[in-house]
Amino acid sequence: MALINSAAENNITFVRPAYFIISGFIGIPNIRYYFVFLCFIYILSVVGNTLVMIVITLDHMLRSPKYIAVFNLTFTDLLSSSALVPKVVDIFLFNHYYISYNDCLTFMFFSFTLYAMQAFNLVVLSFDRVMAIMYPLHYQMRVSHKLILSLTAFFWLLAITLTLIAVGLLTRLSFCQSVIIQSYYCDNGPMYRLGCNDATPNYIFAALAIVLVLGFPLAFIVGSYCCIGYSLSKISTFRERVKAFKTCTGHLSLVAIYFLPVIFVYAFGRVIHPNARIINLSIATVLPPMLNPIIYVLQTQEIKESLRRLLKARVQAKLEVFRFKHL
């Protein structure tokens, strides 16, 4: 903010283009089939996340602090898919490559905020699992609804603040040469590299944001599972260890789906073709919101039992209506 105020005081004029051009998928052969695939992923994501939210809302047995975090995860996944996939399909499938300056910053704000919240939600779920296994007798006292809601609110505030700073730093750049963004959406890195003036603050903050959004969550989760492994080693019987560890398999799957593709892209991004990098990064962004609800339905016993109860109650209600009509 000091840089922006300083620029205002010194009467510096920033060159802001009327529009940017998103060029991520341009020139890739048969790319239309990939957009059909994205549409399919988006539909599954909307249906799956909406179903999980409905189940958690309707079933009073799923009102524990853990399911507040699960509900927030599915809510974030639904918003993340809706903010990204329809816009990407509109840009590239219908050739709307031009996006206005303000719309691009807005697109970036929602995409980055929701992507960061996906990682922070995994931190909350990791905290819940480590407390449940390390302190099983005191879990309900230590992990309350208020605590999970407070953690969730803090991470939402952190994600929004980080993205607002990134967007604010972009507004102090002049775009006097190219306006072509080498990505499939309004990506912070490719955008600040187009700036004509000093982009050092953008570069420093981008590195800090990567540490906070990817490095810290991953380190916390790894540390949590080290604590969980230590606690499980103290359990006397192998059967009880497996039973306790099974409560973590759903969360571990979510962590792997979120972090492994991103780590792969950043680790090998310089040696693979730019088009392959863009496709891999887009898949890493859109797949987790689709797979998360499927994993939680398949690997979480409480949700499977809740689905059975709700379906049974619905069938019984229809049978009662049918009998009443034929009396």
Q: What CATH number is associated with residue 60?
A: 1.20.1070.10
Judge whether 268 lies within some domain: yes
In this structure, are residues 81 and 286 in contact, taking their beta carbons and an 8 Å threshold? yes
Beta-strand relationship, 98-100 and 19-22: antiparallel
Contacts of 173 (CB under 8 A, 6+ apart): 14, 192, 194, 195, 196, 197, 199, 202
Cα-Cα-Cα-Cα dihedral sign, residues 128, 131, 132, 138: negative
Rounded CA separation 285/114 (Å): 11
Q: How many CB atoms neighbour CB 243 within 10 A?
A: 11
The residue to which tokens 């300056």 are assigned: 101
Confidence (pLDDT) at 113? 96
Token digits of residue 240:
């009880």
Q: Given a cut of 70, is residue 168 above it in pLDDT?
A: yes
The reported pLDDT for the residue numbered 149 is 95
> Could you tell me if 72 and 124 are in contact, meaning their C-beta atoms sit under 8 angstroms apart?
yes
Is the pLDDT assigned to residue 102 strictly greater than 90? yes
> pLDDT value at position 229?
87
Q: Taking a C-beta distance cutoff of 8 angstroms, is the pair 286, 84 a contact?
A: yes
Is the residue at 50 inside a domain? yes
What φ, ψ does residue 19 adopt, rounded to 5°?
Answer: -155, 165
Query: Which range of residues forms the domain containing residue 275?
Result: 19-313
Cα gap 25→91, rounded to integer Å:
10
In a domain, 3, yes or no: no
For residues 91 and 278, give the distance between their C-alpha atoms in angstroms, rounded to a whole number. 15
Q: Where is pLDDT greater, at 149 or 272?
A: 149
Cα torsion 269, 190, 10, 5: sign: negative
Number of domains the chain is built from: 1
**Residue 9 predicted with pLDDT over 50:** no
Task: Return the higher-pLDDT residue of 189 and 268.
Answer: 189
Give start and end residues of each alpha helix (H) in the chain.
Answer: 2-9, 31-58, 65-93, 101-134, 139-142, 145-170, 188-192, 200-210, 216-233, 238-246, 249-268, 274-299, 301-325
Tell me if 195 is assigned to some domain: yes
State the pLDDT confidence band at 2, using cuts at 50, 70 and 90.
Answer: very low
pTM: 0.87
| Phi, psi (rounded to 5 degrees) for 284 | -60, -25
Q: 161 or 282, which is more confident?
A: 161
- Whether 75 is covered by a domain: the verdict is yes
Residue 199 backbone phi and psi in degrees, to 5: -105, 15
Q: Is the dihedral of CA 187, 193, 198, 201 positive or negative?
A: positive
How high is the mean pLDDT of the chain? Answer: 85
- Tokens 């399911």 appear where? 67
Phi, psi of 80 (to 5 degrees): -60, -45
Beta strand ranges found along 3-149 (DSSP E): 19-22, 98-100
Give per-residue pLDDT as tens, 129-156: 899 888 888 888 899 999 999 999 999 9
Confidence of residue 12 (pLDDT cuts 50, 70, 90): low
Q: Report yes or no on 92 lying in a domain.
A: yes
- pLDDT reading at 3 higher than 60: no
Per-residue burial over 144-153, b = 16 or more CB atoms within 10 Å of its CB, e = otherwise:
eeebbeebbe
Asked whether residue 85 is assigned to any structural domain, the reply reads yes
Pick the residue with more confidence: 17 or 244? 17
Q: Is the pLDDT of residue 7 over 70?
A: no
**Among the ranges given (55-59, 150-154, 217-221), the one the predictor scored with the smallest mean pLDDT:** 55-59
Rounded to whole angstroms, how far apart are CA atoms 153 and 7? 33
pLDDT digits (tens, 9 = 90+) for 298-327: 677 777 777 778 777 777 777 666 666 666
306 belongs to a structural domain: yes
Cα–Cα distance for residue pair 123/141, rounded to 1 Å: 20
| Of 63 and 7, more confident | 63
Sorting pLDDT into bands at 50, 70 and 90, what band is 224? very high
